[in-house]
Amino acid sequence: MALTDRQIERYSRQIIVPKVGGQAQERLLATRMILAGEYADIEAPLAYLAGAGVGAIDLRGEGEPARMQALAARMLELNPDVTVAVQAQPGVDVNLVLALVVSGRALEEAAALAAAYPRRPFVIARLDGPPRIGVFPSPPPCPRCAGMLTPAGRSRAEDAPAVAMLATVEAFKLLAGYATAPEAVIIGFEGYESKSHRIEADPRCACAVATGKSHDDR
């Protein structure tokens, strides 16, 4: 659906960004995604995604239900173009999953989502140290065979909020089609520097078995 004049004005600063434009904005508004994590970790990313015009966002958050519902309501005030549902019914198809993991419960949710959506783009940020981000545009590989679903480690990393937002930007880029041929990568952090490396699928993993191909076959 074409953007209205009001939407063009609302998203004008985003539309003029190279590799975004009006068509990417239309894709964002037609998108449905899942955002999973603890309340403290999803609040800022949710505001970013809602403000960017991601059309429908399903929250799988760890927090008091009333608090989560209030957060969802605030997003409608921020941007009436979007809808935010708390703990939406399972089985609904989505365009992407973004999981922010720092606790055992958040890790269990991320693992369940990876199993439920084995062929959907998936971005996962481990905020429990050492912080790292896994970007999976089109599994395989998937978060499991890339080692992103290992048991929770140390307590929350000091730079967890920044890492969560960087993961959110990676999710935005996938949804907007910002990269024409995105690769599966792990992004690690050393002080103020980030370093990424390409990853391969484990042929023994269910994601590779289900598709009958490895990363190099795509």
The predicted-structure confidence for 18-75, as pLDDT tens digits, reads as follows 888 899 999 999 999 999 999 999 999 999 999 999 999 999 977 788 999 999 999 9
Pure H helices in the chain: 5-10, 12-15, 21-29, 39-52, 65-78, 104-116, 160-176, 206-211
Higher pLDDT, 170 or 179: 170
How much is the pLDDT for 89?
66
Strand partners, 195: 188
What region does 177 belong to: left with phi over 0, alpha with psi -120 to 50, or beta? left
Question: Whole-model pTM?
Answer: 0.92
pLDDT at 218: 40
Residue 163 and residue 131 in contact, taking contact as beta carbons nearer than 8 Å: yes
Task: Dump pLDDT digits (tens) for 98-136.
Answer: 999 998 899 999 999 999 998 899 999 999 978 999 999
Strand partners, 162: none
Nearest to 119 by CA among 14, 30, 201: 201
For the CA atoms of 142, 146, 101, 179, what is the dihedral angle to 10 degrees?
A: -60
For domain 31-217, the CATH class is alpha beta
CA distances from 44 to 48, 187, 191 (A): 6, 20, 22
